[in-house]
Amino acid sequence: MSASIDLDTLTDFFDRYGAALTAADVPAIAACYALPGLVVADSYSFSFTSPAAVALSFVGAAPDYLERQLVAAHAQIRDVQWLSGALTLVAVEWEYLDSAGRAVPGESYQYLLRTTPTGPVICTVIRAG
């Protein structure tokens, strides 16, 4: 792949990913990931090598979104570093909307994305704060 991903494509990707997260659409979430994939946080790391493993890792998040009554997620792209023609590091701060229409502060993540012929996929997620 010779061309880096553009900002519009990144925005579209994170819009789709955020919609899948708040809808608990596990197959759509899994489709956003490269395999194998990696998640890294301060106190844990885990990898997954199949769509089923991605799905299992997000099953636990669905009740949290429901309990907090989150109905939408918006990714604010804070920084983009084009590492190569296919790899892009994206800093994202998530903002959520609850069922009453109130903004709910979210978390910050770094996403290492790989550009594929069908669009970007997440290789690594790093919890940033």
pTM higher than 0.85 for the full model?
Answer: yes
Q: Which of 83, 93, 77 is nearest to 114 (CA)?
A: 83
**pLDDT tens digits for range 43-84:** 988 898 998 888 887 776 666 666 777 888 899 999 999 999
Residue 3 has pLDDT above 60, yes or no: no
Are 40 and 66 within 8 A, CB to CB? Answer: no
